[in-house]
Amino acid sequence: MYLKKLSIQGFKSFVSLTDLNFDPGITAIVGPNGCGKSNIVDALRWVIGEQRARVLRSGKMDSVIFNGTTSRRAVGLAEVQLTIANNRGVLPLEYSEVILGRRLYRSGEAEYLLNGVECRLRDITDLFTDTGMGAGAYSVIELKMIDEILSENTQDRRRLFEEASGITRYKKRRGDALRKLDQMQSDLARVRDLTDEISKRVRSLKRQATIAERYLRYKAELRTAQMNLLKLEYSRLLTDEKNFEDEIIKISDTCAGLTAQVRASGAQFEALRTRFVAEEKRAQRNRQAFVEHEQRIIKLEGDLRLEEANRQTIAQNVRRLKVDRETTAVEREALASQRESTEKQFSGALSEANKTSQLLDQASTERDIVRDQLKTVELQREALEETVKNLDQQKLNHHRHFDLLQGRIIHLKEEQNRLKSEWKSEEKANETASREAEDAAKAFQEAQKKLDRARGARQEAEVAHAALERKISRAEGDIGQVERELAAKRAEVKILEDLVSTYDFFPDAVRYLLTEAKDIQVTTLSDLITCAPEYRAALAAALGPYGGCIVVETERVAKMAAERLRSEDMGRAYFIVLENIPIFLSSSEPPPDALLTLVALRDEVYRPVAELLLRDVFLVESLDMARNMLDENGGKAYRYITSQGEWVDGRGVLYAGGSEEGGTYSHLSRRDSLRVAKDACSELQRQVDHEKSTLAGLHEEQRQIALYEVIDRAREADQLYVDADRTAQKHAQIRELGSGQLNVLTRRQHQIAQEIANLEEEAQPGSGQLVHIDEKLSEAQENMKSIDHEIQSCRGQLEEMQNAYLHAHMSAVQAVAKRERLEGDLQRIEQRQLHLHHQTEVHEEEHDALIQMQQDASVKISELAEFLQVERTCRNDLNEIKTEDSTREHELRIELERTNEHVRKAQRSFQAAKEEETNVQIKYSAVKARREDLQVRAREEYQFELSGMPEFEEVDDVILREEIQETERKLQSMGNVNALALEEYNKQNERLEFMMEQRTDLEEAERVLVQTIKEINRTASKQFLDTYVLIRENFQKLFCELFGEKAKCELDLTEPDDVLESPIAVIARPSGKRPVSIAQLSSGEKTLTAIALLFAIYLIKPSPFCFLDEVDAPLDDANVDHFMQMIRRFSTETQFILVTHNKRTMEMANRLYGVTMQEEGVSSLVSVRFEEAVALGE
């Protein structure tokens, strides 16, 4: 099993979909700091169920979603998928490839996927339990975890041991069991409290039932007296109601006259009020007009003052503008004079700049001519130098070439001789390789046939094994189901046995003899007789009180029992003495329709008792049929009983009513239920035995398949096939290489012979060519001397021309600078002149506007003065009108108040009459409501109608009330009486039985849970100790391998009495050191110690894969080599993925991933497989 692929998208810095493909063996992940290497480790932790944001280096879980960069927006989803090759079946799934997925949305929603199907986090956690691969297991180790593994806090270290020993699931089960036990004990305590409380309630109700009948009789007498009192009161209320109706009619007539008087006074008042309102509105309009004129006067006065102030401001602005215009005129004259002077200076500077520019151009032309001549002569000299150099090289090459030809000919002749001997040796080796290749091909074909046969056998065995596994699983499930049913049924049997043995439905005396007096051999009649369930009620009714009788063999035993009851003060009991029953009763056969034929006895010795009680009892379908049977038999002393337990006998006694509960019936019911439950237990036990026998057969059949032996044979055949294939390919390659080598040798011999001939022909002497080269060389050297003189002359002329050019260039630069400065002065003067011209125009326009504003203000002031005079006149007129309106309004108000007083007086009289009518109406309504209430009360409480009752003869209500008081006194003297005591007693007793069953079930479940916890502790402790011992031995061996033979280390359980919770101390002493604690070790020593401990665990239970995040960082080169040797050693069983910066670690990897961050904040991958890279390099 190994990790196959990790796909990351939107997780931290991996925004785009990124796939990491892993191979079995070692994979290294490298990259600079901050590029996102550790994000790959976080992605792996996250997808296998890590829930701690701190472990993922985040503040909260949604921080793992890519949050964006300056160039990329944030995403809303983080998703990671992990593909696992389940080729060894480590994961408990049928799939050979398992794909885990986890998604987290920014909204907070999360999803877990298993092979594309949504699942729960618990499913992922359970999948990895005890595999060494969970989120908290030892499959992912970071550098900081080295300190945590070796720290004083031993929880992280202990978790590794628990994962390796496989007790994680046991501890989880124990925790679940302890929580269930706590809950169950709490429930059991509540059930016990309830049963105690209900038991007290049942005993109390039993005593109350005897008082209920007398209480109900008193209640009936009280009801009759109260009904008579109710009728008397109803009759009197009818009379009062009629009197009140007459009085209401009289008062209504008085109210009608007062109403007419109130209306007349009201009409007069309304007319006056209308005149007053009209007058008031007119006065209001006049007052409003006066106020409006007053406001307009105030406004006009304000406007007038404002316009006066505005006119003064305009005059001030006119004076200010005059001064500004004079200042601008003076500045314009000064600028005109300055511009004329600057223009003259600019003309002189312009002519001077043109002159210096012409001189500069002339000097530049002359300098360029001399420079071109010098360049031409220098090129000629360079050409001559190249010619001389080439001629010297040709001369030297000629001598070297001749020497090389001679040496090459000698070397080729030696190689020719060597190739001849090699060709002969290769020919012999090729013949041998051909024979070996043919043998290897035959062996490969045979291995392939064996492999096909082994694979077929393995496939058949796997199919058969899987089928048996399914059958075994079903069988185990069936056994578990039946065993649970059996346990439940046994609990039911135990409860029923306890209930039957208590005899709680029988008198205390009977219960004492059966449960306490064990030395006296007695039993009850109901324990001796049984019948079918459908006849149980009939049998219980037929036995009646005799069902609880004590049955003894002799009268001596009966007296002994009676004496014991007297001595213990336990009351009395009925006894049936077998020796005293007349024998003749059992001498004849019972009638065929007698109830006696439907019952069974525990022993035939008790038949006389059954005949005595049941011989004359017959079963019928109904009481009507029983009455007919009695009439037919002439009233003989027979008893006819129905299946419901109702009966009638010849004496005229009738037994009927509700269902039978308690006493003999309940005891018979419990005893029959116990028998049925025991039969069911026996049947379930037979089913369990049969299922276990079937399961054993399946296991034996599975063992005979010998799947693992078949798999081993298939693996051996597979290995033989691979070896034969490799051998055949090797020999075929050798043969092909040999044939190719012969061809190469033959071609090479021909090439050498041809090359020798060519070289001998080329090596003929060539002295004529050498003389020609010497002549050309002398001529070229003479030409170079004449050209050197010419170059010296040109360089002197060029230097003079350069000095003249620099002088002219300086003058031109100065002239141009002067011209540009004067040109800038002219531009500034022109801009200032334009500004002053524009300002003069603005001043003119502003002056004209201010003059116009002065004129407008004077006109407006005159108009406002005229308006103000008109408004003051109107205000004075309205003030006089307002005074007249106030006088008229006062007179009308006095008359209106006088009329209103007449209206109020009439209304008070009317109101008094209405109040009197209301009082009478209230009394009438009260009487009517009381009468109707009496009707409702009679209907609801006493179920009769008062409205339709005949004439009631009045009686003295005092006598009735005394009778009611006397009856109530009797009821009160009885205290609190539960009238439904019997019904409540049955309900509470049934509830008590149910709670007792629950209590028994809970106690049994508690016992099972305690036993389960003990078993879990025992199994987990043994498994942990066995693994701990092996890990300690492996740790000591590996520690010595890393630190030397003299190094010492130890593991110590600090609390050996509590193995499952004891801290585990680590003691490590490298060679030559005696540290007091692990904390005194160096970082490298801590790392090697943690590695030794980790791989000691891997020797016991290797994890399918291991992620190591920069664990080798503290190690030097020598220790890195030790570390990687150990990694290589364990890589056959465990797939290693290392995040590292160390080059030595990278060299050991089969595949290398490089993590880069070419775009800021976004990680990307580069992958290299070393085998492919080496193959490409070759």
Any idea what DSSP says for residue 129?
Answer: T
- Amino acid identity at 550: I
* pLDDT the model gives residue 664: 64
* pLDDT the model gives residue 1177: 44
Calculate mean pLDDT across residues 434-438: 75
Calculate mean pLDDT across residues 149-157: 71
Residue with tokens 């005092």: 958
pLDDT of 847 above 80? no
* pLDDT the model gives residue 103: 93
* pLDDT the model gives residue 80: 94
pLDDT of 1170 above 60? no
The CATH number given to 500-683 is: 1.20.1060.20
Residue with tokens 């009927």: 656
Calculate mean pLDDT across residues 860-878: 78
Calculate mean pLDDT across residues 1125-1138: 84
Which helix (H) or strand (E) segment holds residue 522: the answer is none
* pLDDT the model gives residue 659: 58
Which residues, listed in sequence order, are joined to residue 78 by a DSSP beta bridge? 104
Any idea what DSSP says for residue 605?
Answer: G
Calculate mean pLDDT across residues 365-378: 78
Calculate mean pLDDT across residues 50-60: 83
Q: For the segment 766-784, what is each residue's pLDDT rounded down to a tens digit?
A: 555 666 777 777 777 777 7
Which helix (H) or strand (E) segment holds residue 608: the answer is helix 607-614
Taking the alpha carbons at both ends of the chain, their separation in whole angstroms is 32
d(CA 486, CA 683): 9
At residue 1074, the 3 state secondary structure works out as: coil
Calculate mean pLDDT across residues 1049-1076: 82
Which helix (H) or strand (E) segment holds residue 577: the answer is strand 575-577
pLDDT of 583 above 60? no
Q: For the segment 598-649, what is each residue's pLDDT rounded down to a tens digit?
A: 888 888 887 888 877 777 888 888 887 877 777 777 656 678 888 777 877 7
At residue 50, the 3 state secondary structure works out as: coil
Any idea what DSSP says for residue 650?
Answer: T
Which helix (H) or strand (E) segment holds residue 19: the answer is strand 18-21
pLDDT of 702 above 60? yes
* Per-residue tokens: 206: 């039993």
Helix 1083-1100 to helix 155-165 angle (10° resolution) is 20
Angle at Cα 874 formed by Cα 871 and Cα 876, nearest 5°?
110
Quick one: which of 657, 664, 535, 548 has its CA closest to 648?
A: 657
According to DSSP H, which parts of 706-766 are helical?
Answer: 707-762
d(CA 1030, CA 1097): 9
Q: For the segment 1038-1053, what is each residue's pLDDT rounded down to a tens digit?
A: 888 888 888 888 888 8
Any idea what DSSP says for residue 549?
Answer: P
Dihedral (C-alpha) 1158, 1159, 1164, 1167: value to the nearest 10 degrees?
-20
d(CA 660, CA 664): 9
* pLDDT the model gives residue 1076: 59
* pLDDT the model gives residue 1178: 45
Which helix (H) or strand (E) segment holds residue 1113: the answer is none
- Amino acid identity at 217: R
In the chain, what are the domain boundaries? 500-683
pLDDT of 1162 above 80? yes
Mean pLDDT of the chain: 78
Count of alpha carbons within 13 angstroms of residue 1039, beta-carbon side: 24
* Per-residue tokens: 842: 């603005």
d(CA 71, CA 65): 16
Which helix (H) or strand (E) segment holds residue 850: the answer is helix 767-941
Count of alpha carbons within 13 angstroms of residue 178, beta-carbon side: 9
pLDDT of 448 above 70? yes
Least confident residue range of 17-26, 445-454, 949-958: 949-958
d(CA 1138, CA 29): 6
Helix 981-1043 to helix 1117-1130 angle (10° resolution) is 130
The segment with the largest mean pLDDT, out of 107-116, 466-475, 779-788, is: 107-116
Q: For the segment 158-211, what is each residue's pLDDT rounded down to a tens digit?
A: 777 777 777 777 777 888 888 888 887 887 888 888 788 778 777 776 777 667
Phi/psi for 24 (5° steps) reads -60, 145
Which residues, listed in sequence order, are joined to residue 529 by a DSSP beta bridge? 601
Calculate mean pLDDT across residues 941-958: 68
- In this structure, the strands spanning 1151-1159 and 26-30 are parallel
At residue 986, the 3 state secondary structure works out as: helix
Quick one: which of 178, 167, 173, 180 has its CA closest to 1061?
A: 167
Per-residue 3-state assignment (H helix, E strand, C coil) for 346-374: HHHHHHHHHHHHHHHHHHHHHHHHHHHHH
Distances from the Cα of 705 to the Cαs of 461, 476, 693, in angstroms?
A: 6, 20, 19
* pLDDT the model gives residue 587: 47
At residue 68, the 3 state secondary structure works out as: coil
* pLDDT the model gives residue 662: 53
Which helix (H) or strand (E) segment holds residue 793: the answer is helix 767-941
d(CA 411, CA 1055): 84
Q: For the segment 659-693, what is each residue's pLDDT rounded down to a tens digit?
A: 555 556 666 667 777 777 788 888 888 888 888 88
Number of CB atoms found within 10 A of residue 1167's CB: 12
- What b/e readout covers 482-503, taking b as 16+ CB neighbours within 10 angstroms? bbeebbebbbbbbbbeebeeeb
Quick one: which of 1045, 1052, 1039 has its CA closest to 1085?
A: 1039
Calculate mean pLDDT across residues 249-258: 78
Calculate mean pLDDT across residues 304-319: 79
Any idea what DSSP says for residue 75?
Answer: P
Q: For the segment 738-767, what is each residue's pLDDT rounded down to a tens digit?
A: 666 667 767 777 777 777 777 766 666 555
Distances from the Cα of 175 to the Cαs of 182, 1017, 1029, in angstroms?
A: 11, 11, 25
Is-contact 265 900, C-beta < 8 A?
no
Number of CB atoms found within 10 A of residue 882's CB: 14
Is-contact 219 213, C-beta < 8 A?
no
Least confident residue range of 39-43, 785-789, 996-1000, 1015-1019: 785-789
Calculate mean pLDDT across residues 820-846: 79
d(CA 588, CA 599): 17
Least confident residue range of 279-293, 528-542, 712-726, 1146-1160: 712-726
Is-contact 1144 16, C-beta < 8 A?
no
pLDDT of 586 above 70? no
pLDDT of 155 above 80? no
The segment with the largest mean pLDDT, out of 9-18, 271-280, 672-681, 775-784, is: 9-18
Helix 981-1043 to helix 168-502 angle (10° resolution) is 150
CA 1026 to chain CA centroid, nearest Å: 38
Any idea what DSSP says for residue 551?
Answer: E
Calculate mean pLDDT across residues 1113-1135: 83
Quick one: which of 134, 132, 145 has its CA closest to 82?
A: 134
Which residues, listed in sequence order, are joined to residue 524 by a DSSP beta bridge? 550
Q: For the segment 322-362, what is each residue's pLDDT rounded down to a tens digit?
A: 787 778 778 777 877 777 777 777 777 777 777 777 777 77
* pLDDT the model gives residue 1176: 46
pLDDT > 70: what percent of the chain? 86
Calculate mean pLDDT across residues 540-559: 82
pLDDT of 737 above 70? no
Calculate mean pLDDT across residues 309-334: 78
Calculate mean pLDDT across residues 53-66: 86
Band of residue 584 on the pLDDT scale cut at 50, 70, 90: very low
According to DSSP H, which parts of 503-594 are helical?
Answer: 508-515, 525-528, 536-543, 555-568
Calculate mean pLDDT across residues 796-802: 75
pLDDT of 81 above 90? yes
CA 1102 to chain CA centroid, nearest Å: 31
1051 Cβ partners below 8 Å, 6+ apart?
1028, 1031, 1032, 1035, 1064, 1065, 1066, 1067
Calculate mean pLDDT across residues 126-154: 71
Number of CB atoms found within 10 A of residue 188's CB: 17
Which helix (H) or strand (E) segment holds residue 388: the answer is helix 168-502
1106 Cβ partners below 8 Å, 6+ apart?
138, 139, 140, 141, 1098, 1134, 1135, 1136, 1137
Which residues, listed in sequence order, are joined to residue 100 by a DSSP beta bridge? 82, 114
